[in-house]
Structure 1
Amino acid sequence: MRDGRIHGWGYNSYGQAANEKSTYAWYPSPVDWCVGEVRKLAAGGGHSAVLTDACSLKELCEFRLAENVTLSNASEIEDVASRSGADALARLCGRLRYSSFA
């Protein structure tokens, strides 16, 4: 962390180290998807995890899943979201599916 912000670099296959996915991050750059004050940070070869005070694990999972919703997986994610009480995520998937038919 620099100045209270998390910086990442490395392979970046999921966009975790920089702004663009599938772009190797050669130099530390601010991680823009982290929300809230960082409480704990763990990282190693092949993983990274951040615990913030801004949201629960459920909310964090909804936030990250919402970035990966596509027309091909929207029905499956919508089903899981509706059964787990993730109403906002379920609505997002539904809108994506229905807007593709318009």
Structure 2
Amino acid sequence: MGTLGGVYDIGINKDALTGREISAHSPRIMPQRFADVNARPGYVRLRGQESRTSLNKVSILARKLTSVHARITTKMEFVPPGPPAQRETDSLLRQHELH
């Protein structure tokens, strides 16, 4: 894992689906504080910090695009904290907010 000008390389070597070599970067914050590549091989586990509009602690990994034409896909597994009934309610509320 290295750093260049406040940008940290998280050191991911292979894409879990395609097997292609990749790398991801995190601005300003060492990714060990919010990202774990060892808990589940082939995946990155992110822990949220402050809100997405925070100027201080945002959990973000980014990859520089090398073309103006790109196809980007993201898959996320998320289980909200709390009892199952509350998780279902929270999930429905989030879906409503997104539409």
The structure with more strand, counted as a fraction of residues = 1
With normalisation by structure 1, the TM-score equals 0.31
Larger RCO (CA under 8 A, 6+ residues apart): 2
The structure with more helix, counted as a fraction of residues = 1
